[in-house]
Amino acid sequence: MVKQLMLKNTKNGKISTLELAGVFVAISSEPNSAQWRELLPLDEGGYIITNELMETEIPGIFAVGDVRHNSARQAITAAVDSATAAISAEKFLSF
């Protein structure tokens, strides 16, 4: 369990310690959506816009997880998004 972090101020070089109960690691704050820019509408941050069924404005294309607009950017919500998209895709394919 992480109980503290040693931090280095990059401006003055000062070392400090931060006491804490845990750490949440974020890999990136930018969505990996560049390949969809010409096909799908993206919000101002580059996230793919979907409805609550994970559908984009193009029928048959779904988006889930961190690349989706209004995502909580958590693994658990990505799993829920994926389940929702799978059900939506199944309905789409059955027509």
pLDDT, one tens digit per residue, over 20-65 is: 998 877 776 788 899 999 999 999 999 999 999 999 999 999 999 9
Three-state DSSP at 5 gives: strand
pLDDT of the residue at 75? 85
DSSP 94: T
Cα dihedral: 34, 36, 77, 51 (round 10): 140
DSSP symbols for 12-78:
T--EEEEE-S-------SS-S-GGGTTTS-B-TTSPBP--TTSB-SSTT-B--GGGBTT----HHHH
Distance of CA 59 to the CA centre of its chain: 22
Q: Which CATH class is domain 4-93?
A: alpha beta
- The predicted-structure confidence for 55-94, as pLDDT tens digits, reads as follows 999 999 999 999 999 888 888 999 999 999 999 999 999 9
- The domain segmentation of the chain, as residue ranges, is 4-93
pLDDT averaged over every residue in the chain: 92
